[in-house]
C-alpha cells in the first residue's frame, strides 16, 4: 500500500498499554509551518522544495516526527487552513511529486511524516461548498450547516466565530445562514451527514497510500455540533470587550465545541490508520483535562495536544498542577506543546530575552521527561522571541480583520537559517512576512556556538533518547522545597527551578547530573543539587560505588 516505503528503524507495530504505537510513544515531534520554513523557488513563500534540504536539520536536531501544516490548494484566507481540495498541493507549495520527495527523504532520514488534515471546515471555494450554496435542493446542501434566520430575524443562534463577529453568514440568494466557527470563508462541514464522513475516509486513505505516518487533526474537538444548535450560555458580559479572542472566551462553548459524538469519528478513523501503522494527533483545544480524556479513551485519538501550559502562570504550584493534570487524565496520550503557529512564542510569553529563553528550555526539560509526545515548533529550538512585524505588514486575518488583535504573524516569521539574503530562508526581494530576527539567532550561528540554545536543545533530545526509563516507568511527583518542581521516572529525576533565586535540594541518595539547561557542569555522585533561576536538570541515580 505504501508508495514511498523505505525502511525505518523500530518499525514493528508494537503497542504500548494506551494503544500508542511504540514508534510514536518514544518520539519527539516537530512542527513545520511550511510557508515560513524554506523557499525553494524564490517567490518569498516557503514550499516543499525548500523544505526538502532542511529535513537534515531536523534529523541532526534529533526529532522523530515532522508535522507539516496544510499545503493543499487554497485561497489562503487563513493561510491554508481553508482547503479547496484535500487531495492536492497548492501551486505555491509545489506539486504532489515534490511532496512524495519530501516523504521519501524524511523516511530515509528515519523521520515520520504527519500531515495536517482540516475536517471542521473547508474553503468557501471548495467544490462541495459551491454546490451546497448554489443548489439548496442538491445533495451537497447538507454537507454544511444551513439554517433559517432566528424567528425575529438575524443569525440562528448566538455562537461566535473564533476570528471575531458572529459564527453565521447570510446567503442572500437562499435567505439561509451557514455556520463558520472561523472565517466566513471557512464554512463548517456537517459531520452528522454520513456522506461527509465517507469523503474524509477516502481522503485519509489517499494520504496514507502516499506514505504518510499520521494526521494532525485541525480543531479536533469541534467537528460535531449540538443537534439543536442551542444558544451557548454566557460566562461574562461582552459589553466593552472588543478583542476577538477575548470575546470568544466570554462564552461557555457548551454546544459548539466538545460534543461527545465527535469521538465516533475518531473511532472509525482509528480503524483506518491502524491498517497503516499510522496515528491520529488531535489539535484538542480544551483546557479541562477531563475533556481531553474523552477524546482519548484508547480507541479514539492516539495523542491530544494539551494547550493549558500555554496559559499557565509561571509559578511552581501552577506548573505542577497543569502538567500533572494532563498525565493523570491521559496517561500516555499527551501531546506537549509550548508553542505553535497560533501563539506568541514562549520566550516572549515568559518574560522575553534570556529570561524567557531559560524558562522555555526549563519547561521543555519537564515536558521531555513526562509520558506523552513533546512537540517543538520551528524556531523554538533556536530560542526565538516573537518576530518583529511592522503594523503595516500584518497579514493574519485575526489581526487584519479585528482592530484590537495583534494576530499570529509574530510567531510565523521565516525560519532564520544563516547569513545572506533573508537569512537563508529565500532569495526573493521580499518575503511573505518580514524576517523577524537577527543573524545571531540563525541555525548556522547557533550551531557554531556550543553554548547556544540550539545546542542545548539538541543535547536535551540526545539525553532523553538514551533514558530507557521513559518507556516503562511511571511518573512520581516530588514535594520539592520552595520553587522547585520535580518528578522521577524510575532512576531519573527531572527538576526545574521556577523561582528567581538559587535553589538547592537533597532528593535522597546519590545522583549524577546528566543534563543542565543553564550551566554545563555535569557532576557525579552528588547528594545535593543546586539550580540557578529558571534552570532545569536531569539526574540519574549514581551506580553504587566499589565496596
Ligand atoms: C487551528 C489552526 C489555526 C487555524 C484554525 C482554523 O486552530 O492551528 O491556524 O486558523 O485551526 O482552521
Ligand atoms: Ca516558494
Q: Where are the domains of the chain?
A: 22-120+196-464, 127-179, 475-541
Residues with CB under 5 A from ligand 2 (ion): 39, 41, 43, 45, 47
Cβ neighbours, 10 Å, residue 27:
21
Question: Which ligand is closest in space to the CA of residue 422?
Answer: 2
- For 450, the 3-state DSSP assignment is coil
Q: Which of 32, 34, 69, 78 to mutate to test the pocket of ligand 1 (most atoms within 8 A of CB)?
A: 78
- Within this chain, domains 22-120+196-464 and 127-179 share the same CATH topology: no
Closest residue to atom 7 of ligand 1, CA basis: 219
Ligand 1 proximity of 257 Cβ (cutoff 6 Å)? no
Which stretches within 219-336 are classed as H helix? 244-249, 262-274, 289-294, 316-329
Ligand 1 proximity of 78 Cβ (cutoff 6 Å)? yes
Q: Give the Å distance between the CA of 411 and the centre of ligand 2.
A: 19
Closest residue to atom 6 of ligand 1, CA basis: 81
pLDDT of 473: 94
Q: Give the Å distance between the CA of 171 and the centre of ligand 1.
A: 24
Q: Whose CA is closest to 157, among 226, 221, 223?
A: 226
Q: Facing residues of 531 across strands?
A: 503
Ligand 1 proximity of 411 Cβ (cutoff 6 Å)? no
Give just the sign of the alpha carbon dihedral 123, 127, 133, 136: negative
Ligand 1 proximity of 79 Cβ (cutoff 6 Å)? no
Q: Nearest-5° angle of CA 5, CA 7, CA 13?
A: 90
Half-sphere exposure of 390 toward its Cβ, with a 13 Å CA cutoff? 5
Beta strands 503-505 and 511-516 are: unpaired
Q: Give the Å distance between the CA of 307 and the centre of ligand 1.
A: 14
- For 508, the 3-state DSSP assignment is coil
Top-level class of domain 127-179: alpha beta
Closest residue to atom 5 of ligand 1, CA basis: 81
Residues in the chain: 547
Q: What is the DSSP-derived secondary structure letter of residue 531?
A: E
Ligand 1 proximity of 81 Cβ (cutoff 6 Å)? yes
pLDDT of 17: 44
Question: Which ligand is closest in space to the CA of residue 47?
Answer: 2
Do 134 and 178 meet the contact criterion of CB atoms below 8 Å apart? no
Top-level class of domain 475-541: mainly beta
Q: Facing residues of 166 across strands?
A: 160
pLDDT of 20: 87
Which of the residues are catalytic?
A: 218, 283
Q: What is the rounded distance in angstroms from the CA atom of residue 501 to the CA atom of residue 200?
A: 53
Cβ neighbours, 10 Å, residue 287:
13
Q: Whose CA is closest to 373, among 67, 36, 7?
A: 67
Ligand 1 proximity of 213 Cβ (cutoff 6 Å)? no
Quick one: which H or E segment has residue 463? helix 453-466
Give just the sign of the alpha carbon dihedral 203, 208, 212, 217: positive
C-alpha cell at 293: 480524556
C-alpha cell at 192: 452528522
C-alpha cell at 353: 530575552
Ligand 1 atom with the smallest distance to the CA of 408 is 9
Residues of the chain with pLDDT under 50: 1-17
Ligand 1 proximity of 185 Cβ (cutoff 6 Å)? no
Q: What topology is assigned to 22-120+196-464 in CATH?
A: TIM Barrel (3.20.20)
Ligand 1 atom with the smallest distance to the CA of 82 is 12
Q: What is the rounded distance in angstroms from the CA atom of residue 537 to the CA atom of residue 338?
A: 19
Amino acid at each position: 500500500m505504501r508508495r514511498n516505503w523505505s525502511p525505518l528503524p523500530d518499525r514493528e507495530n508494537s503497542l504500548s498499554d494506551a494503544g500508542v504505537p511504540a514508534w510514536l510513544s518514544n518520539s519527539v515531534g516537530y512542527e513545520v509551518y511550511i510557508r515560513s520554513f524554506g523557499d525553494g523557488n524564490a517567490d518569498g513563500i516557503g514550499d516543499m522544495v525548500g523544505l526538502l534540504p532542511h529535513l537534515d536539520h531536523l534529523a541532526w536536531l534529533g526529532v522523530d516526527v515532522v508535522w507539516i501544516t496544510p499545503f493543499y490548494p487554497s485561497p489562503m484566507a487563513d493561510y491554508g487552513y481553508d482547503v479547496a481540495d484535500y487531495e492536492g498541493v497548492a501551486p505555491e507549495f509545489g506539486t504532489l511529486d515534490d511532496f512524495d520527495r519530501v516523504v521519501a527523504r524524511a523516511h530515509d532520514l528515519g523521520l515520520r511524516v504527519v500531515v495536517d488534515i482540516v475536517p471542521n471546515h473547508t474553503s468557501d471555494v471548495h467544490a462541495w461548498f459551491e454546490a451546497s450554496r448554489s443548489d439548496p435542493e442538491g445533495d451537497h446542501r447538507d454537507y454544511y450547516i444551513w439554517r433559517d434566520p432566528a424567528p425575529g430575524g438575524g443569525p440562528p443562534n448566538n455562537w461566535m466565530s473564533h476570528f471575531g463577529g458572529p459564527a453565521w453568514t447570510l446567503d442572500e440568494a437562499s435567505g439561509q445562514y451557514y455556520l463558520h466557527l472561523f472565517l466566513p470563508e471557512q464554512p463548517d462541514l456537517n459531520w452528522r451527514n454520513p456522506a461527509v464522513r465517507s469523503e474524509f475516509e477516502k481522503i485519509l486513505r489517499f494520504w496514507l497510500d502516499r506514505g504518510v505516518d499520521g494526521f494532525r487533526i485541525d480543531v479536533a474537538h469541534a467537528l460535531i455540533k449540538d443537534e439543536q444548535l442551542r444558544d451557548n450560555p454566557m460566562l461574562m458580559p461582552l459589553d466593552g470587550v472588543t478583542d476577538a479572542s477575548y470575546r470568544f472566551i466570554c462564552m461557555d462553548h457548551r454546544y459548539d465545541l466538545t460534543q461527545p459524538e465527535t469521538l465516533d469519528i475518531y473511532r472509525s478513523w482509528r480503524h483506518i490508520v491502524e491498517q497503516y501503522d499510522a496515528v491520529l494527533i488531535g489539535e484538542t483545544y480544551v483546557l479541562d483535562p477531563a475533556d481531553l480524556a474523552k477524546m482519548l479513551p484508547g480507541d479514539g485519538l492516539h495523542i491530544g495536544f494539551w494547550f493549558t501550559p500555554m496559559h499557565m502562570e509561571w509559578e511552581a504550584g501552577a506548573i505542577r498542577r497543569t502538567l500533572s493534570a494532563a498525565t493523570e487524565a491521559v496517561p500516555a496520550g499527551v501531546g506537549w506543546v509550548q508553542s505553535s503557529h497560533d501563539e506568541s512564542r514562549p520566550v516572549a510569553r515568559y518574560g522575553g530575552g534570556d529570561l524567557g529563553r531559560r524558562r522555555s528550555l526549563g519547561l521543555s526539560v519537564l515536558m521531555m521527561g513526562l509520558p506523552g509526545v513533546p512537540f517543538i515548533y520551528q524556531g523554538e529550538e533556536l530560542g526565538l522571541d516573537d518576530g518583529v512585524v511592522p503594523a503595516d505588514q500584518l497579514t493574519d486575518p485575526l489581526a487584519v480583520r479585528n482592530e484590537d488583535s495583534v494576530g499570529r504573524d509574530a510567531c510565523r516569521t521565516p525560519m532564520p537559517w544563516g547569513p545572506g539574503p533573508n537569512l537563508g530562508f529565500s532569495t526573493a526581494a521580499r518575503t511573505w512576512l518580514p524576517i523577524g530576527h537577527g543573524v545571531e539567532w540563525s541555525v548556522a550561528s547557533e550551531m557554531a556556538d556550543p553554548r547556544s540554545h540550539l545546542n542545548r536543545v539538541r543535547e536535551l533530545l540526545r539525553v532523553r533518547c538514551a533514558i530507557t526509563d521513559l518507556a516503562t516507568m511511571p511518573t512520581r511527583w516530588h514535594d520539592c522545597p520552595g520553587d522547585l518542581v520535580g518528578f522521577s521516572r524510575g532512576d531519573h529525576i527531572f527538576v526545574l527551578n521556577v523561582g528567581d533565586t538559587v535553589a538547592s535540594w537533597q532528593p535522597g541518595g546519590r545522583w549524577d547530573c546528566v543534563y543542565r539547561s543553564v550551566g554545563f557542569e555535569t557532576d557525579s555522585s552528588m547528594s545535593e543539587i543546586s539550580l540557578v533561576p529558571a534552570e532545569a536538570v536531569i539526574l540519574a541515580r549514581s551506580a553504587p560505588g566499589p565496596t
